[in-house]
Structure 1
Amino acid sequence: MDKSDFFSYITDNRKLDERSLSGLENLVEEYPYFQTAHLLLAKNRYLTRREEFEKNLAKTAVFCADRSRFFYFINNDKYARFFPKETVSSPVDRTQALLNAYLDTFSEEPREIPEIETSIVSTDYFTYLQSLEEEPDGEIAEARQNEFKHQDIIDSFLEKAAANEITITSLEREPTETQEVDAEPGNDGFLTETLAKIYIKQKKYEQALTIIRQLSLNFPKKSVYFADQIRFLELLI
């Protein structure tokens, strides 16, 4: 059996007869796992030799992946009215339909081009630029604000320091042979703390911190007072 005959039997089962029966039997014998050949042979036996069909029905069903389809394939004449044939359009007609559908998308009326949406980031940026143009002094004000960022903290610190200035009173002690005389600091402590305040106003926080640490060592009784100032200066640095 050649290929053209085999394909013709697939498309039109009415061509199956005694002549095709022997050809399909030889084909199944040569290719025992050829499912389509088994189905056509069963259909051929159903049309020509019903007894052989019933005898080999169980064997043929083994080679069917879907037995419901095998049932409707054999009994096609009885159930054909329940399965209307679909008209398959030719490739040329399908291509023409696609071309027509594509050409219909073009219209003589001008199409509205949607406006490009501006992102939120771009809008914010343009708003920022516009605000700079409208308020040229805003940048200067911001610079001044950064310049005096810690001014409130510094002022409060200086007021606190002024209220708790170190006062040194000289004590008259009689020197003895077994007792050492304490060095009188005089006004050096006050002048040194004043210098630290000047450094703070000039934003020279590191120099001021060095002075305060030295004062804390020189006057251990005021270490708690100096510790607050040291923490304050460390925050500013």
Structure 2
Amino acid sequence: MNAQQYIQWLNNPYQLTAENTEALKDMISEYPYLQSARALYLKALNQQRSFLYNSELKKTAAYTTDRDVLFDYIVSENFVTYKPLHIEDLNVVDENYIEFKKPEPTLDETIEKRVLDTLVYIENQDKETELFHKIDQISKSKIEANKLDKENALIEEKQVAKEVPSEEIHQLEENLEVGKPLDFSENDKFSFTEWLKLTSAQPIQRETTEISNENIKPEEKIIVEETIPTKQKNMDLIDRFIETNPKITPSKSAVVPVINTERLNEDEPFYMTETLARIYLEQKKYQKAIQAYEILILKYPEKSSLFANRIFDIKKLQEFNNI
């Protein structure tokens, strides 16, 4: 990769291929603080609908100095829209007019062919020897396995294996869109901030200078009252509602659950979105995800059947994960 090719990718990100994506990944490994490369790599993953998009978005946010700029970028039309490459039609010359003469082999080519044939023969002999060695090892392992089978037969009969229906779990995750890229909209800025807060990424450790206050007089000390950020207040508001709101048990027939609206504060469901509900689900906070969809039922009654089905699927997925 050279500078001219990199500039071309920045101007035309829709031309990125899977091979180009790997090249960008290597560049990020070598230059982790190159924000333009991270944004371009993020665009390529979203274009390919890769399952690595969500985790890479967290890393990009950690390395970004201004997350508001990153948010505006991932919700912009240029980022979301996919434009396929335009292939021009070229005139093909009729094959009847093409004359092809096979060149006669030279002496060097004949010698080269003999050397290659010899190497292929030696390689085949090595593979055959390796195959016989593997067969011998398999035969010995089978004899030892038969001896162990008789000893382990009684132990296996007493053990009770708990089988988790993997196909059913996979189907539930498909229904709930677990692992799929989170599509943020302009109204999901609070959800985006909360999602970044819930990540397991550790903050960058910076050296701090400790100042001794032994020589400071008591009358010179100033008490500073810490203020809680507005976003943190909003999140605490939603968490408090989720903890106090009663549990709901939906049925398979997608009956709309009944929620105690008297205990619902008007400001609490204001910040709740489908994206935030999915964030709780991605973090395996199933109880919060259930309560989030209960709030969404009140906000969007026309989607109550869909949200009730998702509550039912989340509870089943929670049971399987507790096995």
TM-score, normalising length: structure 2: 0.23
Structure showing greater relative contact order (alpha-carbon pairs closer than 8 Å, 6 or more residues apart): 2
Greater CA radius of gyration, 1 or 2? 1
Give 1 or 2: higher helix fraction.
1
TM-score, normalising length: structure 1: 0.31
